[in-house]
Structure 1
Amino acid sequence: MTTRSRKKDRLLYWRVVVDTNVFLGGVLWPKSVSGKILQLWKRNRLQLFLNDDIRFEYLDVLGRFVESNVLRRWQNWLAYPGKAGIVHTHLPHYSELRDPTDNPFLATAVFAQAHYLISRDKDLLVLKKFHGVEIVKPEEFMKRHRANR
């Protein structure tokens, strides 16, 4: 196995959780950095993890900005077996968070043993690392991704 193929295999196993702001930005602006992250996921270049609360939030917020046929496509994509790792368990509540609405993202990332939580949320970014999960902006994630190609 060549060095290039080993790096390629390692990228397939990057486990990530994507905050709603990054997901929405990626859908609405596919050529943006957030859009490139969603493309990596859609091309099986990383593993996206979410739970039912996150999926509901993604679709609820997305539904305010897109037509119903686009929303249906994303509903199907997020529910497609093997495309997203769905965490179906009672997740812990982390009382140390500045914003309790961030709990589903952090708890899912910790439970899924994600490498990254990708977000633009200042309340998340201030944590930098949480129970082994690195919290980074989309630009930082892509910089690291490019460095590992």
Structure 2
Amino acid sequence: MGRQISWFGFTTKKERRRQEELARRKMFPFGEAQRQAELRLLRALIRVRAADTDLLFQLVQAKDCLHRREEEDAEDQNARLREWLHSQLARAFPNRELMCFLALAELEQDMQDLDQLPDADTVRRRAEQLCTERAALLW
């Protein structure tokens, strides 16, 4: 573990890399193949011209919002979701496209292997449902 001084948060380069790798494995458990497949899917769904990193960042944000943290209730989780949906970077995308990120994150939660990645039509249909179900969060 990296050295931590209580009044000055210091993490070694090695520890930071380890934490980044753990986060990457959490968001993309099937590795680079999953990351590339999701990026292709997002390119098919999202009309806004955005860098790959921006698309993947929004997807990671959606995945994080759907992951309930310890001692967090549904209201806290919705507050985090609302915060993401109204963030500066998220506002670059129309609401329907934001719901595509959320739909993809939701649909892949129970994936056991990469072959179960949903197709664009499935994500689009779920995004439409989410627009209705989560309309209050969008405003």
TM-score with structure 2 setting the length? 0.28
- Structure with more relative contact order (C-alpha pairs < 8 Å, separation 6 or more): 1
TM-score with structure 1 setting the length? 0.27
More strand by percentage:
1
More helix by percentage:
2
Larger radius of gyration: 2
